[in-house]
Structure 1
Amino acid sequence: MKTLVIGGVAAGTKAAAKLKREDRSAEVTLLTKSREISYAGCGLPYYVGGLIETEEELIVNTPEKFAGLTGVQVLTGREAVGLDPERKSVHVKNLDDGTEEEYTYDNLILAVGASAIVPDVPGIRLPGVFQMRTPEDAQNMRSYMEEHEVRRAVVAGGGFIGLEIAENLHAKGIAVTVIDMAPQIMPNVLDPEMAAYAKRHLQKKGIRIQTGTALKAVLGGEKASGIQTDQGTIQSDMVVVSIGIRPNTAFLKDSGIKMDRGTIVVDGQMRTNLPDVYAAGDCVVVKNRITGKPQWSAMGSSANYEGRTLAQILAGKEKNYPGVLGTGVVKLPGMNVGRTGLTEVQAKEAGYDVETVLAVTDDKAHYYPDADSFATKMIADRTTHKLLGIQVLGAGAADKMTDIAATAIAMDARLEDLENLDLAYAPPFSTAIHPLVQAAYILENKISGEMVSMTPAEYAEGKAKGYKVVDVCPNPQIAGAFYVNLSSVNGPIDGLDKDEKLLLVCLKGKRSYFLQNRLKAYGYTNTVVLEGAQYFNDVKVEGGKFKVSPEDITRVKALGFLQDKRTEDCFNARVITRNGKITAEESRVIAEAAEKFGSGEITMTSRLTIEIQKVPYANIEPLREFLADAGLETGGTGSKVRPVVSCKGTTCQYGLIDTFHLSEVIHERFYHGYNQVKLPHKFKIAVGGCPNNCVKPDLNDLGIIGQRVPAVDLSRCRGCKVCQVENNCPIHVARMEDGKIRIDGSQCNHCGRCVGKCPFGAVNTETEGYRVYIGGRWGKKVAHGRALERVFTSEEEVLDVVEKAILLFREQGITGERFADTIERLGFENVQSQLLSDELLERKQENLAAQKHLKGGATC
């Protein structure tokens, strides 16, 4: 029996290898267009992010190794160009020499996979534009990032792959914007309210998200410099297009094979409509395991299952591929997202009597270090209690929650079947009653009427209008709400009418349910629990004011919101600029934001950061989201590299260097690039265009000053009675002595004012460049920085010194001390020696990976 396999990534290699194990006498030949087979496509984003260090780790098997392990004949560089089912042959193009080849078969397996969709928009072929489908894509992207020092990236596509790429780019310190033309991220994967929560989370972590935004063009001349969307332009050093994939089935057009929107239609035995032709993997449409309807599920997991099952079928075993549930999981910064089964929208479309619940539960014992929460949306049929789907968001093992649910759905479980599942428990792993079981309990209570609730989607739609909000938190949390101390409720509550519409809200939902249970017993008839409580919902009471807790004051300070001490609940929002520079459009956005979310007043800090005045606490997140949509951010506080400040050396008559350019480079590389790096204290950088020191570079942790070092040629000095060099020296260190001009090098500040003033050319430039001062400080304890002994002659040298200074401070600084204190403790000569060598850069990754200074010393 001669079996021909077309395609060599997941389904093709799995089917070929398993078939040889089932029947050693089978003659199996595998053809693939690529030079590689069996590569880790799902690992490509993590290679870009550096978690997977080498290209070799992406290759599961080489063609030679695979052939040796399995006995399958592997031919690479072969592209299938036609299928003749009557002759039972495949026409192939040999990519090495361009010749046509023909291969016959007894059985044919089509596992040709899918390719990234490349939109037909201007600029899409520019250098700096990438897809993410093959190891070559990942290798090219990583090389480009390093060679071009990418600081800003746009990812077009908010699905699993797009978000994985965004997460890995963000981890590299790159400012990332994700756009998607759909109204939500992860469309058809999550329900809208779950996607909205994930979007808010990503924006809080610093990834900009723009939904409802279509890619219209890639901008740039020699390389990509941004994108044009239907909502405006976004500047970027790199563009990643991840808007979907398309099955590689165009060559089958005239073969008579049955297809559905480009995917090959197969039955439960993976058979096509053509005799002895089978298909598996990303190029096929199978069925949904719950509804039985066709579903395309292009996942590496299902491709492997399909390939294995198909091999067993070809070997004569009674097997059937049951279909897919669309199970998936994605890692995002600080949050994992898992899902399986039907969404609420899909379940309703399939005709089920749908009921859902949003349950917030602990992901492990609450007292265990790193314990967090799951926000779980569970979907079931109200009549039969059959479990239909689940969506899970949380920092913990969302995959475990998803996998248990997938198993339950595959076994046709009802909610009652989950009640007493004997699942593993220990404090580091779970709670005594598993979080998934808790969600099932809550949904059962809702279906039975024991709990009457409102979903987050209903709350967002305005269903709570007319309800009195009752705060059931351990301490008052909700501005303007009626507070109830749960532990003291032993009868009717003064101030709450028994027939009044009451919305019960706590931190996660449990205390609200407990109160509802009590109130029912005391005759209250119209109470509703808000599912997800404050954890998931932005709960507001119109006109409500409250005193912000010290914990929240600290939390929002880290986001760039400093409390206005004249008020109880208003904050001044620091909007980060590029050394005071913003575009006209950004200026309009900031002005609109100040009117919409603050007092309408805007100020400028001494470090050229804009502040929007008097933003109420409740407006903080809406303001951040509004600014993020325009590419603006708040911040500039905490024990981190602070926004860079410089003089306007580009326009000043005394300017020696392009301070705008240098400060913007430093801003991108060290404010953005080191945004997640915790330091012992704040680290301020200033750039001065000349030794006039208008922005006091020597009073910053690190200061850079433009330099022009004069050189005296005494042979050209005529000993003039009135010396122009002497007259032009602003600090009077150039003097005529014994009829010759002399410049005291130990006193000269290298301002360059004397250069070229001698009509006979006695004073010219010896060196132009930068002087770096370290250890300055202004405030309660003033310290003047001290200059390193070298005058640096290139921008790259200066940037290296800046990075080494930050790394030294992180590595050798003590939490709470300023850089000046570190230098004093270690000794200036010691620090200078380290900054002038490369050892700090050599151990950079180890330094940045260390868990240090988790609570720094900065107070503002």
Structure 2
Amino acid sequence: MAKHQTPLLDELEKGPWPSFVTALKQQAETKPECWDLLGQLELSYKDRITHWKHGGIVGVFGYGGGVVGRYSDRPDLFPGVEHFHTMRVNQPSGMYYSTQHLRAMMDLWEKYGSGVTNMHGSTGDMILLGCRTESLELMFHDMTHQLNQDLGGSGSNLRTPSCCLGESRCEWACYDTQEVCHTLTQKYQDELHRPAFPYKFKFKFSGCPNDCVAAIARCDFAVIGTWKDDIRIDQDAVKKYIACDPAYPADGGAHKGRDWGKFDIQKEVINLCPTHCMKMDGDKLVIDNSECNRCMHCINVMPRALRPGLEKGATISIGAKAPILEGAQFATLVVPFVKVSKDDDYETLTEYIEKIWDWWMEVGKNRERVGETMQRVGLPTFLKVMEIEPLPQHVKEPRSNPYIFWREEEVPGGWERDIVEFRKRHAA
């Protein structure tokens, strides 16, 4: 395949940063289709429209998801990307790979595909970019039989569950994110590979409120670690932070090499508390835990002095999405605290999940995420479906509607019954 002139893309090679253009040119030395990939992208920059054709369902036998079809609308100019399908590969929990496994995966991808990868996609999968239709089954067969490696999710199905490193590396983790992620991935194989939902559905599991996988912003069912009791305080360590002891650097030494000046607990911790629940009482740090919203800022700044409480679990928030047109929305808090335990095979979580699915598959519109369905029907209706009593944590802001409407079964009698009868008469 001929090399294409790419003056616009060449501009992206200038400057001090690594460039994907340079990497693709290097890959094109052994995989000539990458020249056509660069050529088509150059044409897209010039025409200011994409030249990936819409439509065309492609996949592997027995799976409705896992492969994203990509076809060029200019195969006459760029035959190497006439078919350039994406394969989504289900990553291990926490993205722990052995070098042996990675090398074996890359050997297969060099054999059957373009060799271009995205490590990792925003959902979490290992993304393999560029495979012809006739090579998909061969790649899938060798990947599953030789490496025991499965495809992830794509389309209107459960997308590949994703989690943070959890208890394997992080001292703040409030539950075992990797175990939950692995267990539910195995449990919901059918939902993962055979699209049956109105639209995509994502799980993400963060071990603590730092939310390192951005669950609250990007997924339909966010399980974010938290604690129910008081933040643990080591007052001696607090004093050492205030005294700027070299063994107690603020932020855990994350800014080592730069002089940020003397540590000021009032300025850098107490004044930045979003709920103003902290103060110094003499040389003691005092926290009003009833006002704490678990933002983690104080713990991150003074990790040797403050730790999460011992009564650990998770918060469940539902309905995040980040569409381009309507704008992003965070997930809505639905369950403030739930125990996350392997003892019951995570039955509490799966009950919530399946209750959502049963309802959403019945009332959700085509290409409508759970969060959009919740917005359409209203949070009170959704809480009723979930059989959850409304809590103060569910209230985003005081309501502006001055009218209160009661269901008849909620009215005990007396003047309240008269109101109901009055409304019935006037409704007619």
Whether TM exceeds 0.5 here: the answer is yes
Give the conservation status (yes or no) of the 8 Å contact 2:152–2:193: no
| CA apart distance, 1:826 | 2.1
Unaligned runs of 5+ in 1: 1-547, 839-860
State the one-letter code of the partner of 1:555: V
Quick one: structure 1 residues 677 and 619, their matched pair in 2 at CA, closer, same or farther if it must change by over 3 Å? Answer: closer
Amino acid at match of 2:382: V
What aligned pairs does 1:281-360 form with structure 2 within 5 A after superposition? none
Using the TM superposition, give the Cα deviation of residue 711 of structure 1 relative to its aligned residue in structure 2, in angstroms. 2.6
The equivalent of 1:575 in structure 2 is 89
Deviation at 1:705, TM superposition (A): 0.7
| Conserved? CA contact 1:561–1:635, under 8 Å | no
Tell me the secondary structure at the aligned position of residue 228 of structure 2: strand
Secondary structure of 1:655's counterpart equals coil
Partner Cα distance (2:162, 2:270) in 1: 28
Question: Aligned with 2:336: secondary structure?
Answer: coil
1:555 to 49, 55, 58: 58
Q: Does the 8 Å CA contact 2:227/2:308 hold for their aligned counterparts?
A: no
Shift of 1:750: 6.0
- Give the alignment partner of residue 647 of structure 1, picking from 158, 164, 170: 164
For residue 194 of structure 2, the aligned residue among 669, 676, 679 is 676
What's 2:48 paired with?
Answer: none
**Residue in structure 2 matched with residue 783 of structure 1 by the alignment:** 329
Q: Give distance in 1, aligned partners of 2:99 and 2:364.
A: 41
Match of 1:749 in 2: 294
TM-aligned CA distance change 1:827 to 1:723, over 3 Å: farther
Q: State the SS of the aligned residue for 1:817.
A: coil
CA distance in 1, matches of 2:270, 2:362: 42
User: Which one of 723, 726, 734 corresponds to residue 277 of structure 2?
Assistant: 734
Q: Secondary structure at the match of 1:554?
A: coil
Q: Does 1:709 align with 2:232?
A: no
SS of equivalent residue, structure 1 residue 637: coil
Deviation at 1:782, TM superposition (A): 0.6
- CA-CA distance at 1:596 after TM superposition: 1.0
2:402 corresponds in structure 1 to none
Residue number among 345, 354, 378 corresponding to 1:827 in the alignment = 378
Report the CA distance between 1:641 and its aligned residue: 0.6
**Aligned partner of 2:102: which letter?**
S
Aligned 8 A contact 2:216 2:320 in 1: yes
Find the counterpart in structure 2 of residue 693 from structure 1. 211
Tell me the equivalent position of 2:39.
none
| Residue 589, structure 1, aligned to residue 134, structure 2 | no
Cα distance, 1:639 vs structure 2: 0.3
Shift of 1:827: 1.7
Partner SS state of residue 687, structure 1: strand
Shift of the 599–766 alpha-carbon distance from structure 1 to 2, 3 Å rule, reads: closer
Q: Which has the higher strand share?
A: 1
Q: Deviation of residue 559 (structure 1)?
A: 4.4
Q: Displacement, 1:785?
A: 0.7
**Secondary structure, counterpart of 2:149 in structure 1:** coil
In structure 2, C-alpha distance between the alignment counterparts of 1:662 and 1:776, rounded to whole Å? 20
Q: Which amino acid aligns with 2:166?
A: G
Are 1:633 and 2:150 an aligned pair?
Answer: yes
CA 1:592–1:825: 2 relative to 1, 3 Å = same
1:610 is displaced (CA, Å) by 1.4
- Cα distance between partner residues in 1 of 2:279 and 2:183: 42
Whether the 8 Å contact between 1:597 and 1:619 is mirrored in structure 2 is: yes
* Counterpart in the other structure of 2:128: 612
Instruction: Considering fraction of residues, name the structure with more helix.
Output: 2
Q: Which residue of 1 aligns with 2:29?
A: none
What is the CA distance between 1:802 and its match in structure 2?
Answer: 2.7
The answer for the alignment partner of 2:245 in structure 1 is none
Supply the AA of the counterpart residue of 1:767: E
* C-alpha distance in structure 2 between counterparts of 1:758 and 1:549, whole Å: 51
In structure 1, give the amino acid aligned to 2:105: I
Distance 1:586 1:638 in 2: 27
Q: CA 1:596–1:691 in 2, change beyond 3 Å: closer, same or farther?
A: same
Distance 1:833 1:723 in 2: 48
Whole-angstrom CA distance in 1 between matches of 2:103 and 2:306: 52
Following TM superposition, by how much is the alpha carbon of 1:571 offset from its aligned partner in structure 2, in angstroms? 1.5
- Which one scores higher on RCO, CA 8 angstroms, separation ≥ 6? 2
| CA deviation map 1:643-700 (0-9, x unaligned) | 0122222313433332222211222223556543511100011111211122111121
Q: CA contact under 8 A between 1:644 and 1:667: conserved in structure 2? A: yes
The number of equivalent residue pairs is: 287
> Pairwise mapping of residues 307-456 of structure 1 onto structure 2 (< 5 A)?
none
Paired AA for residue 128 in structure 2: I
8 Å contact kept, 1:701–1:785: yes
Question: Which letter does structure 2 place at the counterpart of 1:597?
Answer: Y
| Secondary structure class of the residue paired with 2:138 | helix
Deviations 1:110-144 (A, max 9, x none): xxxxxxxxxxxxxxxxxxxxxxxxxxxxxxxxxxx
SS state of the match for residue 782, structure 1?
A: coil
Alpha-carbon separation, structure 2, partners of 1:690 and 1:737: 26
- 1:663 maps to 181
| Structure 2 counterpart of 1:560, one-letter code | V
Q: Percent of aligned pairs with the same residue?
A: 18
TM-score by length of 1: 0.30
Q: Deviations over 1:294-350 (max 9, x none)?
A: xxxxxxxxxxxxxxxxxxxxxxxxxxxxxxxxxxxxxxxxxxxxxxxxxxxxxxxxx
Give the 3 Å change call, closer, same or farther, for CA 703–762 of structure 1 in structure 2: closer
Q: Aligned letter for 2:162?
A: V
Q: Secondary structure at the match of 2:337?
A: coil
In structure 2, what is the Cα distance between the partners aligned to 1:769 and 1:572? 37
Distance 2:281 2:235 in 1: 12
2:157 and 2:193 in contact (8 A); partners too: yes
Letter in 1 for 2:70: Q
Letter in 2 for 1:749: R
Three-state SS of the structure 1 residue aligned to 2:154 is coil
Question: Aligned partners of 1:734, 1:829: CA distance in 2, in Å?
Answer: 30
AA matched with 2:213: V
The 1:662–1:763 alpha-carbon spacing in structure 2 relative to 1, beyond 3 Å, is: closer
Distance 1:664 1:559, change over 3 A: closer
Structure 1 residues 669, 837: CA separation in 2 closer, same or farther (over 3 Å shift)? farther
Distance 1:665 1:634 in 2: 16
- Alignment match, 2:316: 772
CA contact (8 A) 1:577 1:608 kept: yes
> What is the deviation of 1:784?
0.7
Find the aligned partners of 1:682 and 1:836 in 2 and give their Cα distance.
24
Aligned AA (1:770): A
Question: How many angstroms apart in 1 are the aligned matches of 2:308 and 2:155?
Answer: 45
